[in-house]
Amino acid sequence: MKDIFILIEHRRGEIRNISFELLTKARELSEKTGGKVTALLLGHQTESFINEIKSSAHRIIVIEDEKLKDFNSEYYTATLFNVLTTEKPFLTLIGHTAFGIDIAPALGSKLNIPVATDCIGIEIDNNIIVTRQMYGGKLNATINFKDSSQFLVTVRQGAFPVSETNLSVEHPAMAATEITKTPSTLTEDIAAIKFLEYIEAATGGVDITKANIVIGIGRGVKEQENLKIIEDFAQAIGGVVGCSRPVADSGWLPKDRQVGSSGKTIKPKLYIAMGISGASQHISGMKGSETIIAINKDPNAPIFNEANYGIVDDLFKVIPALKKKIEELK
Amino acid sequence: MDSIVCIKRVPQTTDLELKIDSSGKDIQKDRLTFDINESDSYAIEEAIRLKEKLGGTVTLVSIGEIGNDDIIRMGLAKGADSAIRIEYTGELDGFATAQLLKNTIKDLKFDIIFTGCMAQDDGYSMVGQTLAELLGIPYASLVVKLDVENNLATINRELEGSLIEKSEIKLPALFTIQTGINEPRYASLMAIRKAAGKEIKITDAKSTELVKNTTITKLFTPPPSKQAEILPGTTDEKAVKLTGILKEKGVI
């Protein structure tokens, strides 16, 4: 039977949304294969988590250990290795998050099973076929695996959104979820890694999550000196300036202005992406904006797949023209 | 403190339209320029800074053909001491890449292995972690801060939503480096000239039996999830149009 296991991801006492996305996809796949969906829940004091996921899986395997409370790749990998060696599910899904990126590749290697990362499409036939993006989202690739009885796939956040219907509607077979509590096999001191603490990034003067209008700038801004032009434009339109990763990496804007999965998630009324190509990490931080406008000289930039309106042109020609028209209106 | 930095040469594809080649499984690369993978460049810088602080050596390892010598020599010019190129032609998946690196690195002396956290071309984010597992050493991915003292590394990992995870790791260990961790230096012209004459050790992996777990069977242009309405006309006409749209939506 083609059983699917998903790893529940949680942090600081909360289940992360990717877990529900994985449950959604696993349920959809299981309806085709007839296999069962098992949620793997590793952690400490997981009672409330069990209730949250109960109606979305046929079975939950719970492994409780204080060592699994916070993330430690060694403890997690050792525990998952034991479970997956015993249970041998056909497919295991883990989020392509900072958590999943850390454990999945090594876990697959330890289990000697094939791994595909950051997948946005999964189909099960006799084998598994996945779709993933390459070249910063410019192309998609179809990936086949070598023959195996077990596969491990990490799933991009947001690739399989949780809709109102797919998890809330009770699945008859999932109403009586079987809960298996398995004792932890972790002994003291196997770890060369020790979790210390979580640190919230410091925030500066401008909170881009609270602004109505955000001007996002990327590599296309070219030089730090050009920032002044952008700041002036932002002021004229009544917005604040945010950025994509490369701009923050260069230190042109502080890290708290970075829009994206590892930075801020923003939902302004208007987002204008200037010279941003549109890497998936950036998109996930701004796709909730009411209106998205992209200005980029590359007509093939993935950002145009997310925007409502696009201008294919030189940024530094568009800005003065736009600024003039906006000021005329005022 | 001896470090190894694994570096990859990748095509530069920003602002370019990519064409799929006749096999349907790869892009046409003949007109593209190549450079070091972005996060690998930060990995080199981190290794060199560690050497400057604590002493020791930095060794670069890269898989590929002679074209890779460009990025290797630039790394040497920036301050790496030696370099090994693993001669290999052909497609590699993440697991096969890690195997090739392991075959060479297992015989080297090191305290830390650095890799970038993701390749700009295939975006796997898996080679470093897999390599660490194959070598049997601890690792941390997405590292944005590193301090080393007495064979113990204190690291910050970048999580989602501006959150940082701080941990301690005993060395030897492997770190996959996230961009922005430092400011990669430029090599001086003199150093570049000097590096041009340095030896790059070649190991031949042509006959190595590799396990490939995954194969790309097809490349295609992604279907747009929400295709933008592209505003036509001259720059001025576009500006007028856009201003009209913004006004209509009540944003300005």
**Are residues A57 and A126 located together in one domain of the fold?**
yes
- Residue A164: which residues within 8 A CB-CB, separation 6 or more? none
Domain total for chain A? 2
Set of chain A residues whose Cβ sits within 8 Å of the Cβ of B154: 196
Q: Chain B window 112-131: which residues touch A at a Cβ cutoff of 8 Å?
A: 117, 120-127, 129-130
The interface pTM score, or ipTM, of the predicted complex is 0.94
Look at residue A202 and tell me if it is in a domain.
no
A130 and A257 share one domain: no
- Between CA A77 and CA A97 the distance in angstroms is 15
Chain A: nearest CA to B122, how far in angstroms? 5
Q: What is the mean pLDDT of chain B?
A: 95
Q: How large a percentage of chain B has pLDDT more than 70? A: 100
Instruction: Confirm or reject CATH 3.40.50.620 for domain B3-204, answering yes or no.
Output: yes
Do both A150 and A57 map to the same domain?
A: yes
Per-residue pLDDT band at B31 (split at 50, 70, 90): very high
In a domain, residue A63? The reply is: yes
Say if CB A71 and CB A132 are below 8 A apart: no
Both A226 and A169 in one domain: the answer is no
Q: Does position A204 have pLDDT exceeding 80, yes or no?
A: no
Which of A120-124, A158-162, B13-17, B190-194 has the least mean pLDDT? B13-17
Q: Which two tokens stand for residue A35?
A: 């296999």
In the structure encoding, which two tokens stand for residue B157, read together? 């990992």
* Contact with chain B for residue A313, Cβ under 8 A: yes
Does A191 map to a domain?
Answer: no
| Chain mean pLDDT for chain A | 93
Do residues A211 and A239 touch, judged by C-beta distance below 8 A? yes
Looking at CA atoms only, how far is residue A186 from chain B in angstroms? 16
Given an 8 Å threshold on Cβ–Cβ distance, is B215 in contact with A322? no
- With an 8 Å Cβ cutoff, are B160 and A262 in contact? yes
Question: Which domain covers residue A51, as residue numbers?
Answer: 4-183
Q: Which residues of A touch B248 (CB under 8 A)?
A: none
The neighbouring-strand residues paired with A195 are B167
Q: Does A84 touch chain B (CB under 8 A)?
A: no
For residues A102 and A175, state if they share a domain.
Answer: yes
**Tokens standing for residue A12:** 């600081």
pLDDT of residue A166: 60
Is residue A86 included in any domain, yes or no? Answer: yes
Q: Do A137 and A9 fall within a single domain?
A: yes
B chain contacts of residue A106, beta-carbon cutoff 8 Å: 129-130, 132-133, 139
What are the tens digits of pLDDT across the range A264-293?
999 999 999 999 999 999 999 999 999 999
For residue A136, give the CATH number of its domain: 3.40.50.620
- Other CB atoms within a 10 A radius of the CB of residue A82 amount to 15
Instruction: Verify that A76 and A116 share a domain, yes or no.
Output: yes
What is residue A171's predicted lDDT score, i.e. its pLDDT? 67
Task: Read off the CATH number of the domain in which A277 is found.
Answer: 3.40.50.1220
Cβ distance B227 to A143 less than 8 Å, yes or no, reads no
Question: What are the extents of the domains in chain B?
Answer: 3-204
pLDDT digits (tens, 9 = 90+) for A226-241: 999 999 999 999 999 9
Rounded Cα distance, A59 and A50, in Å: 10
Mean pLDDT over B198-210 rounds to 88
Task: Count other C-beta atoms under 10 Å from residue B201's C-beta.
Answer: 12
Q: Is pLDDT at A7 greater than 90 in this prediction?
A: yes
| Nearest to A242, CA basis, from A213, A269, A222 | A213
User: Do the domain assignments include residue A200?
Assistant: no
Same domain, A34 and A150: yes
Q: Residue A249: list chain B partners with CB under 8 A.
A: 179-180
Is there a contact between B218 and A141 if contact means CB atoms under 8 Å apart? yes
